[in-house]
Amino acid sequence: MNIVITGGRGQLGRELERVLGDYHKVILLDLPETDVTLPSEIETLVNYYPDLVIHAAALTDVDGCARDPLTAYKSNALGTHNVALACQRANAAMLYVSTNEVFDGTKGSPYFEWDTPHTINPYAESKLAGERYVQMLLNRFYIVRTAWMYANGRNNFITRVIAVAKEKGALAYVDDEIGNPTYAPDLARAIAQLLETKHYGIYHLVGEGIASRYDWAARIVQLAGLNVPITRAKLADFKRASTPPPFGALHNFVAATTLGIKLRSWQDALQEYFNSPISNL
Ligand SMILES: NC(=O)c1ccc[n+]([C@@H]2O[C@H](COP(=O)([O-])OP(=O)(O)OC[C@H]3O[C@@H](n4cnc5c(N)ncnc54)[C@H](OP(=O)(O)O)[C@@H]3O)[C@@H](O)[C@H]2O)c1
């Protein structure tokens, strides 16, 4: 297949290239050369004759999106509109990478693929608007929602925890924000499997199991071999521009049940991250 990946230099884009590059012709697009918010780029995408476009480009700074919602809508909603139109014109399938934040986090248990989205911050609103464009304009699409993603060699939650631990000698993380830490190489492999199925639809692809920020940070400190105390905090203790869903964990029901596609446990994946020579510690 000819596969175009937007956000090709991002955490997920890089991993997708690694996984798909041996079997497909992969074209990576990213800023500054390709800005998906420009309608003129629709033609650029069409001219690559894609069989499939993986749209991973997004403004992912959730607090930045809260401070500047119109820029968030432009990037994440209108950018996705353009990519979906390009797929329509090129007769290509589309895989749109979306987020657990489309849910408000009040259900109290992991969200299924058919649960009704309800957003509580501008990042989530802009990503959900993107989902709607995809569904409105295309017949052949995958919407893959994921959460709490991290990759090797990047600044991420893990590198931040370690940096703060070393700098301050003590940590505090919330135990009332719940999600699924998801290792980008595992997600890329699951997406590669999904693409072969042509089983279009909405999927939740996340590391197996759930964790609070506190649980995740505590395991990071342990694996990094740091002897630093870590205390429990609450979301209400911190003032942030964006409001995260408190219980934002996803349940991978559809891909696991119908296709046998599952990611390993978040604990095993985290161990693998620390074993990697490029874990950027
Ligand atoms: N990271 C997570 O925890 C997480 C969780 C759930 C869902 N997701 C979704 O997963 C996808 C991939 O996330 P990621 O962590 O790989 O993101 P990332 O590392 O931030 O990469 C996104 C890439 O998109 C590029 N981009 C931004 N605006 C663009 C535009 N207008 N045109 C073209 N490219 C643009 C960015 O360029 P610049 O760096 O120059 O801005 C960056 O290279 C995103 O759609 C995100 O919403 C991520």
Domain ranges for the chain: 2-154+181-208+249-263
123 catalytic, yes or no? Answer: yes
Closest CA to 150 of 234, 214, 192, 207: 207
According to DSSP, the residues that pair with 204 across neighbouring strands are: 145
pTM more than 0.85: yes
Lookup: tokens for 224: 């990094």
Atom from ligand 1 closest to the CA of residue 96? 45
- The answer to whether 50 and 92 are in contact (CB under 8 A) is yes
**CB proximity list for 198: less than 8 A, separation 6 or greater:** 93, 140
Going by pLDDT thresholds of 50, 70 and 90, the confidence category of residue 5 is: very high
User: Of all protein residues, whose CA lies closest to atom 40 belonging to ligand 1?
Assistant: 31
Is the confidence at residue 280, as pLDDT, over 90? no
Q: Is the minimum distance from the CB of 60 to ligand 1 under 6 angstroms?
A: yes
∠273-275-276 over CA atoms, to 5°? 65
Is the confidence at residue 279, as pLDDT, over 90? no
Average of per-residue pLDDT across 176-197 = 98
pLDDT digits (tens, 9 = 90+) for 219-255: 999 999 999 999 999 999 999 999 999 999 999 999 9
CATH architecture of residue range(s) 2-154+181-208+249-263: 3-Layer(aba) Sandwich (3.40)
Going by pLDDT thresholds of 50, 70 and 90, the confidence category of residue 86 is: very high
Is the confidence at residue 132, as pLDDT, over 70? yes
- 225 CA → ligand 1 middle, Å: 31
Q: Is the minimum distance from the CB of 79 to ligand 1 under 6 angstroms?
A: yes
Going by pLDDT thresholds of 50, 70 and 90, the confidence category of residue 186 is: very high
User: Of all protein residues, whose CA lies closest to atom 7 belonging to ligand 1?
Assistant: 99
**CA distances to 159, 235, 251 from 177, in Å:** 19, 7, 16
Average of per-residue pLDDT across 12-29 = 97
User: Of all protein residues, whose CA lies closest to atom 8 belonging to ligand 1?
Assistant: 99
Lookup: tokens for 236: 């209400």
Atom from ligand 1 closest to the CA of residue 127? 47
Q: Is the minimum distance from the CB of 148 to ligand 1 under 6 angstroms?
A: yes
SS3 content of the chain, % helix, strand, coil (to 5): 40, 20, 40
Q: Is the minimum distance from the CB of 176 to ligand 1 under 6 angstroms?
A: no
Phi-psi region of 193 (alpha: psi -120 to 50; beta: other; left: phi over 0): alpha
